[in-house]
Chains A and B, each alone.
Chain A
């Protein structure tokens, strides 16, 4: 029998045994024993954040860019409550996190002790699962189980709340077993082979097929993206993706339609509307995608591949549901396709592809450029051009800049785009970039930001400085909460209530004050040079890119409208497009 360990030592041991190399955290009274155990080893590097929300987003960026579980360590009470936003964000975007929270000693639980909060109660509905560890004998098993639950099936955040007395208690450590068997949790990864074959038969008969791919492909791992590419090549079908699935199929691929949904391209949305076979692979029919449900792709047969049975028929009914992991299902689809035919269906579906080309010719991402003011779309295009040969990861905040990043930055590989899709958390991007950079020290990591969002978690720039993480924060500064302003123009008579970014800091001075570099540019002719200056600097940079203030993010499917009722860029006046019913929507 091995030597007994304290609970705190077990935490560190269990982290190592689960392959953890980095954790993001902030100390406090209820986790001091764990911090002490961390102090006495070097296998796990601790990244000290400036606010616990930052730690959660860093762990998300870390997880999304590596496929590993992101780990957070925070204290009880305010430490735990500060982590709630990131936990919820990870739940909605299916990001695997393990968040360890300190708790007051078991004997004090329920007594309103100092820095006590009901962490498991508060996080019950914003985690995939959570635990309060009451006995040292349960600790190791629970930590291993938490990693398994976070990473398997539909990934998500798991909280482990550890009272301080359990951190001090001595117990027998147990290594993770290679074959974790949970008695009530066993996600189904292998889709039903008969159903997969039916799907392939539908594909062989389809005249107007489209792949609608989502974050599930990214969750499934890089092999799923490879298989998707192979299947697209084999079939010759056009492919679109949600915001969360960008990069699974390369933007330079000739079957690529661009992103779909509220701010998707005309060709992607028209193809979704008019198709006769929709192949949903790892997407969840989010309301940014469907628009008006009763007008959503009215004539199509819908195949839905998802690992979570509750995603099926939640919003849109599937004609054929395949419950399984994208990688496995795609693998079988590729195999079965090959057994049934050896040619793509490009000829058979030519009229459909021709139609798609006509939609593409509308050039829905066209915009009017200017030689005196930097257009935000132009800024992203120039950024993309400047980094096209680099090993680059992009994160974003939330707002217009996020959509412009999705529209104008070409993603060629999976796990390269980190964004808050489901919760839409302003302040996600900067800490997420820090987390990505921790995992990929030599890569170029850029947060495409808005001036309002970035102020929500600005302090993590200081974390980047401390750990020499050369993140680039590229702020599209339109002096407005642009997305809010756009909706106010659309719905509320251009009364820009509280959406002007008043009293902005001088971002250049701010960067310098925090120990990084600041760059400012407001002239389209100087932009390339300013971007080069940012890229050349070997350290964190805040780039204050002054852009057109009143630009709208188009195209757009207004709330309550159908896919074929998009607003395109040349519909100049957007103020009368949404009817009364649509105004109530978000």
Chain B
């Protein structure tokens, strides 16, 4: 029994499980009340869990419910704890580990400002088109693109923009939803 814990010498070395960390996306349905974000974020920092990305917005207005999407990286054991600890918070209704439930649909939006002239400007537009990034603002020396997609696509686009005059980026963080007919 407890064979998975054999590597650690004591309760103090429970962090030993470093190599088996996974990235998971959790969807958390909460009462949209003051301080709820601080409660969630505070839980993560107090218990030493990691937050890769966190988005929140009210989604069900009549009931005053918000949906929070959290991306975290942790061992399977810690992931289970994160879910249970979140569920312990009084204003939390439901927690779904979308990654564990299978291949959720995940999207992120970024606004990307690129400044430049001449050849670089042309190349910038060509790449933007290939990535289906929309021009949402332009001046004679700059563009702002709006791009949505998976995190990997956005990251790829941003890295391509670096040599072409990337000025700054803002990202929404990940929103995710499970596939198929069923809701949370």
Interface residues of A (CB under 8 A from B): 120-121, 124-125, 128-129, 132, 134, 149, 182-185, 287, 290-294, 296-302, 308-310, 312-317, 319, 559-560, 581, 584-585
Contacts and interface: CB of A to CB of B under 8 A. Distances in A.
Given A125-B46, A184-B91, A301 B6 contact: no
B85 interface: yes
Contact of B9 (A301, A302, A560): A560
Q: Which of A184, A287, A302, A313 has the most CB of B within 10 A?
A: A184
Interface in B38-96: 38-39, 42-43, 46, 77, 80-81, 84-85, 87-93
Interface of B: 1-2, 4-14, 30-31, 34-35, 38-39, 42-43, 46, 77, 80-81, 84-85, 87-93
Contact of A310 (B6, B38, B81): B81
Contacts of A132: 34-35
12 contacts: A124-B39, A124-B42, A132-B34, A132-B35, A134-B34, A292-B10, A293-B2, A298-B1, A299-B1, A301-B1, A308-B88, A317-B1
Contact of A585 (B1, B8, B10, B35): B10
B11 A317 contact: no
Contacts of B14: 293, 315
A294 B35 CA distance: 39
B10 A310 contact: no
Contacts of B1: 297-302, 317, 319
Q: Which 3 A-B pairs have the closest CB atoms?
A: A310-B84, A287-B11, A129-B90
B47 to A, nearest CB: 9
A293 B35 contact: no
B100 to A, nearest CB: 15
Given A301-B1, A310-B81, A293 B8 contact: yes
A314 B85 CA distance: 10
B8 to A, nearest CB: 6
Contacts, number: 89
Instruction: Tell me what chain A mostly uses at the interface: helix, strand, loop, or mixed.
Output: loop
Given A121-B35, A315-B11, A316-B5, 6 more contacts: A124-B39, A184-B30, A293-B11, A294-B7, A298-B1, A310-B81
B90 A584 contact: no
A584 B12 contact: yes
Nearest to A561: B10
A120 B42 contact: no
Given A124-B39, A293-B14, A560-B10, A184 B31 contact: yes
Given A314-B81, A315-B14, A319-B1, A309 B9 contact: no
A293 B5 contact: yes
Contacts of B87: 309-310
Given A184-B93, A301-B1, A581 B35 contact: no
A317 B42 CA distance: 26
Contacts of A121: 35, 38
Contacts of A120: 35
A559 B42 contact: no
A293 B10 contact: yes
A319 to B, nearest CB: 7
